[in-house]
Amino acid sequence: MNRRRTEHKGLTIWFTGLPCSGKSTISQLVFDQLRRTGVKAELFDGDAVRQNLTRGLGFSKEDRDENIRRIGYMCQVLTRNGVIAIAAAISPYRAVRGELRSLITPFIEIYVNCPLEVCKQRDSKGMYKRALAGQLANFTGVSDPYEEPLAPELVLYTNDERPEECSRRVLELIVNLGYVHNGILPNGKSNVDSRPLKR
Amino acid sequence: MNRRRTEHKGLTIWFTGLPCSGKSTISQLVFDQLRRTGVKAELFDGDAVRQNLTRGLGFSKEDRDENIRRIGYMCQVLTRNGVIAIAAAISPYRAVRGELRSLITPFIEIYVNCPLEVCKQRDSKGMYKRALAGQLANFTGVSDPYEEPLAPELVLYTNDERPEECSRRVLELIVNLGYVHNGILPNGKSNVDSRPLKR
């Protein structure tokens, strides 16, 4: 039974979205819940990865694509070894996300959708402010484009849904698709904060 | 029974040695045998990795160390997820190899020991020739140092032992240390070419 509950296949879950859209928060919740329930999982956060795997890369389109390809390579290797690899990276360009999809099987793209104006208000690290003041070049959503996914497996609306609800929807998706046993789901509503949404 | 035969723990097997000492050949044999017997394994060859994970890095001490750290990071992540990660890289500097040892558990260092003169004669890619002609800077063994391991788990003498024998010794080591089931060993001598050594 124990073995059955933790049985799972390899998989890449790719979170894409604007800065401050909620990628890191949600992916961390998903990752924590998977680990808590005995699933082999790894989380690659775009910002953190720039400290090791992709040190020295900047924010030009070329460097951003290289950054994404390297995270993708890590995810690919883990996925084919039965690990659930989770990436949270702005990954603004559609073409390179498409490349990853063609390289990695199975691959799930999750669009963390939040209106630009709301992301700007959140601005957890003050980056939008600096970008809008012209102090930060190549900032996605301000001076650099963000290309929305055309056919993501899931869209999360983080202006309307709490992070815990978003995380649960991701977990339910991978259970429904048969990648993991439903033992990974939080019990009922007990782990989910059900206070009204902040708008 | 099948499950038992393929049960194994995560592990990093790190091959270090001079250019043309035999790292790639032996690590490929080890990798092939592990995969053939159902073990989760990945092989990172220093040269190949420079095409993706570490593209853009050169051969200064700083860049070499960064190259090794990135391969080490991949190995670390795989090892903690139950995969046998195999690296074959000159990795000439003792300090950064020591860093990896302190980061990755379990970690096995294998010194592929071959006299410099023999490596120069092999010179499979003509690199020593170019380095000796002064056309290639920072070439380990010619214009760059190689720091021998002080306490490797295993030393292979590729001037005296055939690649198949070396591979078998590596496999026996990881079986004896309890990392993998002995089902990974080639059957008796049947897979080993027992012709006399070429000297």
> In sequence order, what DSSP letters do the residues of B160-196 get, joined into one string?
TS-HHHHHHHHHHHHHHTTSB-GGGSPSTTTTS--SP
State residue A8's pLDDT score.
80
Domain residue extents for chain B:
7-114+146-179
Instruction: Write out chain B residues lying below 8 Å of A52, CB-based.
Output: 69-70, 73
State residue A196's pLDDT score.
40
**Is any Cβ of chain B less than 8 angstroms from the Cβ of A55?**
yes
The residue with greater pLDDT, B195 or A93, is: A93
Max CA pair span of chain B? 57
Minimum CA–CA partner of B51 in chain A: A70
pLDDT at B53 over 90: no
**Is any Cβ of chain B less than 8 angstroms from the Cβ of A112?**
no
HEC string of B86-130?
EEECCCCCHHHHHHHHHHCCCEEEEEEECCHHHHHHHCCCCHHHH
Q: Which of B21, B91, B190, B194 is catalytic?
A: B91
The whole-chain average pLDDT of chain B stands at 89
Mean pLDDT lowest among A64-78, A171-185, B51-65, B83-97 = B51-65
Helix (H, G, I), strand (E, B) or coil at A37: coil
**Is any Cβ of chain B less than 8 angstroms from the Cβ of A196?**
no
User: Interior CA angle at A89 toward B52 and A18, to 5°?
Assistant: 140
**Is any Cβ of chain B less than 8 angstroms from the Cβ of A48?**
no
Q: CB–CB of B82 and A52 under 8 A?
A: no
Minimum CA–CA partner of A50 in chain B: B70
Instruction: Write out chain B residues lying below 8 Å of A55, CB-based.
Output: 66
State residue B52's pLDDT score.
77
Q: In what order do the strands lie in the sheet with A84-88?
A: A41-45, A84-88, A11-16, A107-113, A154-157
- For residue A188, give every residue at least 6 positions away whose Cβ sits within 8 Å of its Cβ, in sequence order, or none: none
Q: Report d(CA A50, CA A128) in Å as an integer.
A: 19
Identify the band that residue B192 occupies on the pLDDT scale cut at 50, 70 and 90.
very low
Confidence (pTM): 0.87
Helix (H, G, I), strand (E, B) or coil at B16: strand
Q: Each residue of B143-172: pLDDT tens digit?
A: 999 999 999 999 999 999 999 999 999 999
Instruction: Write out chain A residues lying below 8 Å of B73, CB-based.
Output: 52-53
The closest CB to that of B77, out of A69, A78, A82, belongs to: A78
**B25 Cα to chain A: minimum distance (Å):** 22
Tens-of-pLDDT digits for all 199 residues of chain A?
344 555 688 999 999 999 999 999 999 999 999 999 999 999 999 888 888 777 788 888 998 899 999 999 999 999 999 999 999 999 999 999 999 999 999 999 999 999 999 999 999 889 999 999 999 889 999 999 999 999 999 999 999 999 999 999 999 999 999 999 999 998 754 344 434 434 3
Tell me which fold the domain A2-181 belongs to: Rossmann fold (3.40.50)
pLDDT at B194 over 60: no
**Does A124 qualify as catalytic in the annotation?**
no
Q: Each residue of B7-39: pLDDT tens digit?
A: 688 999 999 999 999 999 999 999 999 999 999
Query: What are the tokens at B14?
Result: 């790190």
- For residue A109, give every residue at least 6 positions away whose Cβ sits within 8 Å of its Cβ, in sequence order, or none: A14, A16, A97, A101, A149, A151, A152, A153, A154
**Is any Cβ of chain B less than 8 angstroms from the Cβ of A51?**
no
Q: What is the DSSP letter of B145?
A: -
Mean pLDDT lowest among B4-8, B38-42, B194-198 = B194-198
Minimum CA–CA partner of A51 in chain B: B70
Q: CB–CB of A53 and B73 under 8 A?
A: yes
**Is any Cβ of chain A less than 8 angstroms from the Cβ of B42?**
yes
Backbone angles phi, psi at B85, to 5 degrees: -100, 130
For A88, other C-beta atoms within 10 Å of its C-beta total 30
Average pLDDT score over residue span B47-53: 80
Q: Report d(CA B135, CA A64) in Å as an integer.
A: 34
Instruction: Write out chain B residues lying below 8 Å of A83, CB-based.
Output: 81
Is the CA virtual torsion B12, B64, A43, B104 positive or negative? positive
Q: Report d(CA A197, CA A157) in Å as an integer.
A: 12
pLDDT at B199 over 80: no
CATH 3.40.50.300, domain B7-114+146-179, yes or no: yes
Q: Which ipTM was obtained for this model? A: 0.84
How far is C-alpha B20 from the geometric centre of its chain's CA atoms?
Answer: 12
Q: Name the burial class of residue B150, with classes exposed (0-12), middle (13-18) and buried (19+) by CB atoms within 10 angstroms of its CB.
A: exposed
Average pLDDT score over residue span B40-56: 86
